[in-house]
Amino acid sequence: MAYLDNIAVFVRVVELGNLSAAGRDMRISPAVASNRIKELEKHLGVRLFNRTTRQLMPTEHGTVFYTGAKQVLDAITEAEAAVSALSGQPRGTIKVTAPLGLGRRLIASGIPDFHDKYPDIEVRLRLSDHNVDIMKEGIDVAFRLGIIEDSSLRMRGIMECERVLVAAP
């Protein structure tokens, strides 16, 4: 399983472009992510990334390996989904993002009940007031406040939120 974990870290590093973001996404430290990449490079006997102080770019070997690794991880996800469908119990990971205030007050409080109902689903909640690139980060559900400009996304209003302006004298 460690080899598969190394592959999963490699894929996230390629997709997100740096170790820190991949580490946060996978809930591991950047040092652990770096070690997993080094183990994978040692196992394969090639360098997978060209490293600079600002970014990681996949080498030619890394690009080729990414394509195959992504297919392997997708196949495993599909196989797990097929088994899950047979058992009738949903399982997997759902990535959710929301603004900090909304996430703390409304969404985070509902996660324990959701987990009780669906114990095999891991919820990864990312709270940030900055707009997250939903496609790049692999987000499944995003909560937003205000009017959304990107019409290519499927959107649904879920509640009205009255705004109040408050100031001190």
Kindly report, residue by residue over 15-68, the tens digit of the pLDDT: 888 888 888 888 899 899 999 999 999 999 999 999 877 778 999 999 999 999
Whether residue 116 is contained in a domain is answered as yes
Query: Do both 81 and 94 map to the same domain?
Result: no
Structural domain of residue 110, as residue ranges?
A: 89-142
Query: Do both 79 and 100 map to the same domain?
Result: no
Whether residue 159 is contained in a domain is answered as no
CATH number of the domain enclosing 102: 3.40.190.10
Whether residue 156 is contained in a domain is answered as no
Kindly report, residue by residue over 58-113, the tens digit of the pLDDT: 999 999 999 999 999 999 988 888 887 777 778 788 999 999 888 888 888 889 99
pTM, two decimal places: 0.61
For residue 123, list its beta bridge partners.
94
CATH number of the domain enclosing 32: 1.10.10.10
